[in-house]
Structure 1
């Protein structure tokens, strides 16, 4: 283990005094996400180690540069997991990068997102001060929940040094079902099933085929499988399918020339997107992936009309608006948060929005 907190504080103080932008980077596996990274490279890989792990308490505290695969391997030895299934997108993924990106995999449907599992964080703010928020227990609600604001902030608010995460037991049983069904019928069924006590832990629809994952106690999974029907995939094929979705190894996620891969966050009950291009639907209808060559304005207008927003995920001109444009009030909130945590504006400037 190595603790570089004090060294990092000194470097951040020097950067703030000089007005030097810092590009915070762990394993670099999510460099593609967001607007173009700028600034002097700040490598977090040397700050590693598990600080505390209490399997019986379902809590682990780990330094930001720790490899994500290393943490997941440790949890697996105790039959536990990060329930939000964070994608790695490469062997170098770190815990800090996982939290900063705020991306979750198929199990987000049932378990929740990254910020739902962050109990506490330690960061270095833009003044070079080491700060601690939250803790290592669930009942820690005093004051503003900064830990949740840090999750998904892409390093724009502070340099993450340490994270405390809630973990969960791995499911005893798991099975994948396959159904041939059209989009609207799939959305209807997913929303209907979502309101029932079914152990659904993942759903993916594409090209007239719905895959559904059931996870939990053997009796619950067996009963749900008998009730829902469908074709049962063998364990190896099922695990490979969900791994390909989680890590975006499926060919769908590689846009061709002229295409952009869009991530549309919508109400699960929203109508079909009905835009030209290829589509893959996750999270019971709440996450719609779209590969399309349509103009950004057309896609964002349709997403907004359906009650959601659209993010350009891959294949986009990253000098432009990658994330859905903010309303004036929301932009003001973003600016105030940035000013409070990073007054000199040195951390990953412009990674979310130009000028922030």
Structure 2
């Protein structure tokens, strides 16, 4: 086993006693706590306030077992630091969590549950969480799951924390499954309209191809810009080469140089592509989560489509909430107001309404883990 113990000092102790004390004090006084790591995703979810509880001081890679494809890391560890350690062993986190800033932490990654371009083919954050430790609203430091897939004790609770936005507890330590970097990668680009692109992706998705990610986009700032579908292949060298040759011929595409394509995929992951830059004060960035087979939506807004059709981004005013949510529900999906514009979005909920069954389960979970209701109240 290779272990890297980072920062064992007075400011980074063996247990998160300071965090536990802050939680206990908050519970006793009914003081709301705003849990943050790097605070790079403060825009995500409903605005919340409270005394800041920061995990930044709780850093370090506790253990990394390359042969077992497992890493255990403290929540305040920078995502960039973890990526660097894994890269040294030819490994990575396949869900490609968005990096919204240099101080993004792995605890924030799990709490937000956001994934990058390859989500539809490799899985999301919760699919790679093997176990974790967190502090509940009673100030108890609890452990769920383990470091191997066969250890299923409390496994669902571990996954439950992914995407909970800190409303159930303070994540302190996470064990994650990692994967080896693929031997080969190729990016193909096709000039296709949205309907054609979705049809092609659905056809390819049902075939034994090394598909890893897709992105369809039209540059809304350029009236005559082409509609482009980008497809990323990853896998064995022979499989990637054969698939590249076949798909280029089949859909009249081109193969991009990896040196050019790499930054573009990073920009898609981190939302730094031109599409994600909008200076209009009333424009909000909406995220529509739909079945992959959903058709082209009849909405008058430019879109960027990922995950073979399952994730669709668009810019629209907050006033379009009802229109967008109705369109998403019509195809069994939902719409999230991901980023409010400069004018804000007063009176518009960031997340779509939950069904009565899900709402009941959510309330019971919060009552169990955070009976005083102090963790990020109102965030979701």
> For residues 233-312 of structure 1, what are the structure 2 equivalents within 5 Å?
233-255=256-278, 256-293=280-317, 295-312=320-337
Of 210-219 and 143-152, more deviation after overlay is shown by: 143-152
Q: Secondary structure at the match of 2:20?
A: helix
Normalising by the residue count of structure 2, what TM-score does the alignment of the two structures yield? 0.91
Q: CA deviation at 1:326?
A: 1.5
TM-score between both structures, scaled by the size of structure 1: 0.96
Q: How many angstroms does 1:318 deviate by? A: 6.3
Q: Distance in 2 between matches of 1:189 and 1:326?
A: 32
Q: How many Å apart are 1:219 and its aligned residue?
A: 0.5
For residue 66 of structure 2, what is the aligned residue in structure 1? 55
Aligned-residue Cα RMSD (Å) equals 1.2
Give the corresponding residue for 2:182: 171
The corresponding residue for 1:215 is 234
* CA separation of 1:223 and 1:56: change in aligned 2, threshold 3 A: same
Query: CA offset at residue 235 of structure 1?
Result: 1.3
1:228 aligns with 2:228: no
In structure 2, the CA distance between the partners of 1:297 and 1:319, relative to structure 1 (3 Å rule), is: closer
Over residues 117-147 of structure 1, what are the superposed CA-to-partner deviations in whole Å (9 max), with x where a residue is unaligned? 0000100000000000000001122356101
Q: Who is 1:134 aligned against?
A: 145
The change in CA–CA distance for 1:65 and 1:318 in structure 2 (over 3 A counts) is farther
Runs of 4 or more off by more than 3 Å in structure 1? none
Checking the alignment, whether the CA contact within 8 Å between 1:29 and 1:93 is kept in structure 2 is yes
Alignment: residue pair count: 352
Measured in 2, the distance between the counterparts of 1:144 and 1:241 equals 35
3-state DSSP class of the match of 2:324?
A: helix
Specify the alignment match of 1:206 in structure 2.
217
The answer on 1:157 being equivalent to 2:168 is yes
- 1:21 aligns with 32
Q: Does 1:350 align with 2:368?
A: no
Q: Distance in 1 between matches of 2:113 and 2:295?
A: 26
Structure 1 stretch 130-139 or stretch 248-257: which is displaced more? 248-257
**Match of 1:162, SS?**
strand
Q: Is the 8 A contact 2:301 2:315 kept in 1?
A: yes
Contact 1:35 1:319 in 2 (8 A): no
Gaps of 5+ in 1: none
